[in-house]
Amino acid sequence: MNDFIQNKVIPFAQKIENNFILSAISGAFMKVMPALLGGAVFSLFQGLPLGDWYTNFLSSTGISDALAVGVAVCNLTALYFIFALGYNLGEKFNVNPFQTAIVSLLSLLLVTPFSYNNVDSTNGAVTLIKNVIPVDNLGASGIFTAMLCGIIGAYVFAFAVNHNWKIKLPDSVPEMVSKPFEAVVPAFLVSALFLLVRSGFAVTSYGNIQNFIYTMVQAPLVSLGNSFPAMLISMLILLLLWWVGIHGTSVVLSVMMVIWMEPAITNLNNYMAGEPVTLVTTYMFFFVFCQFIGGPGCLFGLTCDMAIFAKSERFKAFGKVCFVPGMFNIVEPVIFGFPIVLNPIMFIPFILTPLVFMIIGYLLMVTGVVNIPALMLSVMTIPGPIAGFILGGGISLGIMIVIMCLLSCIIYYPFFKICDNQALEAEKKSNQEKTLEENKI
């Protein structure tokens, strides 16, 4: 079993974790978080549950219209994402990252329609409005298209630059003037490619590449990936990777984030518009159980057990060191120092606790007992109960996280005591051996 893990599982997972394209995609999502958080701040003020007087106050003073900027911010997610993705890929390809980001953005805009059909709500008449960009294509539904355009555009641009397909000006021309000209030919090639793509899809029934990708690829993929069984399997893989010493969170999110982000943004938009939040299996739902109950494995309970119930000197000292970081979901010292990694005793609680909590949380949210997290956080070191409130889940989500933290203490306790007793016996044996050595002297 250990040979299989060492020779097959670990190398495969490391290849995924180290894949530069997946790494660039994951990093791009992290970079656009500030924009989403900006919208979340507006929505937080807009949705404070203070009663009708507060809603009327916002409307009468015009503040409500100003807060609606948050909706516009979130509706441009694909625009922010492709710029960040292009920048990351530029660094990976060793070409000017800012130029690569601009060209990636250009590639998306070249295939984006500059018109939309306006439907009259009274008589159903359809009017084609030109010289406008439908923001839907630059929002959550356009992320998959942005990802493909960003990767292809950046690759073609970098390929042309690295093969010196560029305009070379005389050495007498200042570098600040010559450098931009060197990107003209690569940028032209990218533009020509995506104009051909735009023209090709214009003669199909889909009209543009966004409609094609969303209909044929993104919607089915999101439907499959956002199913609860798929999320459970993802959590299981994440935990197994952590157990063998691999950063499972990075591996899983590098693949699944692009799928889970769209429904999360949809929830955020609905929340800001005052509409019901109905999508449970999202990026932030996953993070509630992956991060906000003490990190991977819901290890808050184990850190508490060490700090309170440890008898061995080893775990007494270790518990004091790990308790405060554990409150802020920093549990790598526990995973590698306890250790959880390849520890057969801790395998059962480490794997089963998050899975059971996720099932319980899903049922509570589907039945309406607990609010669905609607907002998003880029800071994952916020204590769980506080994070539950900030995520838009209110008191109910915060209480659920508190209860699960307490339950994790109970679940981990018997397994911890086995390890603690073993450490205590080892310490007693070591002390006895030291005493014998001293007596001999």
The pLDDT confidence band at residue 103, using thresholds 50, 70 and 90, is very high
pLDDT, tens digit, 9 for 90 and up, residues 402-434? 999 999 999 999 999 988 988 888 888 877 777
List of E strands, 48-122: 115-119
Structure confidence at residue 160 (pLDDT): 92
DSSP 346-374: HHHHHHHHHHHHHHHHHHHHHTTSSPPP-
Among candidates 258, 263, 309, which has minimal Cα distance to 285?
A: 263
Separation of alpha carbons 196 and 257, rounded Å = 30
- Looking at residue 416, its pLDDT comes to 92
Q: What percent of the chain has pLDDT over 70?
A: 82
Q: 370: which DSSP letter? A: S
Closest CA to 306 of 325, 283, 285, 278: 325
The residue-averaged pLDDT of 373-382 equals 73
User: Using CA atoms, how far apart are residues 77 and 250, in angstroms rounded to an integer?
Assistant: 21
The rounded mean pLDDT for the chain is 81
Higher-scoring residue by pLDDT: 17, 369: 369
pTM to 2 decimals?
Answer: 0.64
Which residue in the block uniquely carries the two structure tokens 């990026």?
A: 283
**pLDDT greater than 90 at residue 270:** no
- Cα→Cα distances 18→33, 125, 410, 439, Å: 22, 52, 37, 55
How do residues 27-41 score in pLDDT, each as one tens digit? 787 777 677 666 666
Of 293, 266, 216, give the one whose Cα is nearest residue 374. Answer: 266
Three-state DSSP at 126 gives strand
Radius of gyration (C-alpha) of the chain in whole angstroms: 26
CA pair distance 26, 255, nearest whole angstrom: 8
What pLDDT is recorded for position 152? 94
What is the per-residue pLDDT across 190-230, written as a single tens digit (0 to 9) for each? 999 999 999 998 888 888 888 887 777 666 666 666 789 98
Residue 1: CB partners within 8 Å, gap ≥ 6?
none
Q: Which token pair is 325? A: 């970081």
What is the C-alpha separation between 304 and 320, in angstroms, rounded? 9
Cα angle for residues 161, 166, 169 (degrees, 5° grid):
130
Sign (positive or negative) of CA dihedral 260, 263, 268, 271: negative
The stretch 172-193 carries a mean pLDDT of 81
Structure tokens at 194: 């995506």
In terms of Cβ atoms closer than 10 Å to its own Cβ (0-12, 13-18, 19+), residue 61 is exposed
Please determine, for residue 101, whether its predicted confidence score (pLDDT) is greater than 80: yes
